[in-house]
Chain A
Amino acid sequence: SQTIHQWPATLVQPVGSPLSLECTVEGTSNPNLYWYRQAAGRGLQLLFYSVGIGQISSEVPQNLSASRPQDRQFILSSKKLLLSDSGFYLCAWTGGYGYTFGSGTRLTVV
């Protein structure tokens, strides 16, 4: 069966520090991968998605970037975090049906 792993679960980072969040999927090949962000009490905002290795589509211009170095690995990064980057970051994958989300990373920028 397919599983998705996302870490860390919680992160507190100072303003201006770098960020790296990792997501991996097991049990499937060539999945579509997604990064969403959810501000407190708000909806799910699509940040990036990827349909294959090295293929990244950006939805919202900002100081975040994403990379897909391997088929089942998706990384979200930032060189310098802003206070507004705080939120609940969710990785998701789909093989063509519903989306399966990772458990999420709750990021607080202080």
Chain B
Amino acid sequence: QQPVQSPQAVILREGEDAVINCSSSKALYSVHWYRQKHGEAPVFLMILLKGGEQKGHEKISASFNEKKQQSSLYLTASQLSYSGTYFCGTWAGATNKLIFGTGTLLAVQP
């Protein structure tokens, strides 16, 4: 039931790109993306509401394939500030609850 994210962890150099995937076994109405810095609360990045929709936030964008029940987060030209754990959250209809994925630890090095 919990969405599965891949990879579990990724290490980048500044300026490199990364893709984080989120896959659900259930039909999805929307997908959220959050970033959590160590010791802090998660921070909302974006929400995707329609199949195939892409949204952007700074140099971070995401896509949502409703049919495949998958979403991907794209980080381009990564910065040190992008380091943290990224979680997708899936909303499966009128359940009023967001179920978070397994998480992806991203470390950006100078």
Residues of A within 8 A of B (CB): 32, 34, 36, 42-44, 46, 49, 51, 57, 59, 90, 94, 97-104
Nearest A-chain residue to B89, judged by Cβ: A99
CB distance from A104 to the nearest CB of B (A): 5
B97 in contact with A101 (CB, 8 Å): no
How far apart are the CA atoms of A91 and B34 in the complex, in Å?
Answer: 15
A43 in contact with B102 (CB, 8 Å): yes
Choose among A49, A94, A98, A103 the residue that contacts B41 (Cβ–Cβ < 8 A).
A103
Contact A46 B87, CB 8 Å, known A97-B47, A101-B41: no
Nearest A-chain residue to B101, judged by Cβ: A43
- Chain B contacts of A103 at CB under 8 A? 40-41
How many of chain B's residues have a CB under 8 angstroms from any CB in A?
Answer: 20
- Chain A contacts of B34 at CB under 8 A? 99
B100 in contact with A59 (CB, 8 Å): no
Name the residue among A46, A90, A103 with the largest chain B CB count within 10 angstroms.
Answer: A46
1/0 per residue, CB under 8 A from A, across B1-37: the answer is 0100000000000000000000000000000101000
> Chain B at the A interface: mostly helix, strand, loop or mixed?
strand
Name the residue among B32, B43, B44 with the largest chain A CB count within 10 angstroms.
Answer: B44
Nearest B-chain residue to A91, judged by Cβ: B41
Does B81 interact with chain A (Cβ within 8 Å)?
no
Does B42 interact with chain A (Cβ within 8 Å)?
yes
Choose among A49, A97, A100, A104 the residue that contacts B97 (Cβ–Cβ < 8 A).
A49
CB distance from B94 to the nearest CB of A (A): 11
CB distance from A44 to the nearest CB of B (A): 4
8 smallest A-B Cβ distances: which pairs?
A: A98-B44, A101-B41, A44-B100, A43-B103, A104-B41, A49-B97, A51-B96, A101-B42
CB distance from A62 to the nearest CB of B (A): 17
- Extra inter-chain contacts (20) besides given A34-B98, A43-B100, CB under 8 Å: A34-B97, A36-B100, A42-B103, A43-B2, A43-B101, A44-B100, A46-B97, A46-B100, A49-B96, A49-B97, A90-B41, A90-B42, A98-B32, A98-B44, A99-B34, A99-B89, A100-B44, A101-B42, A102-B41, A103-B40
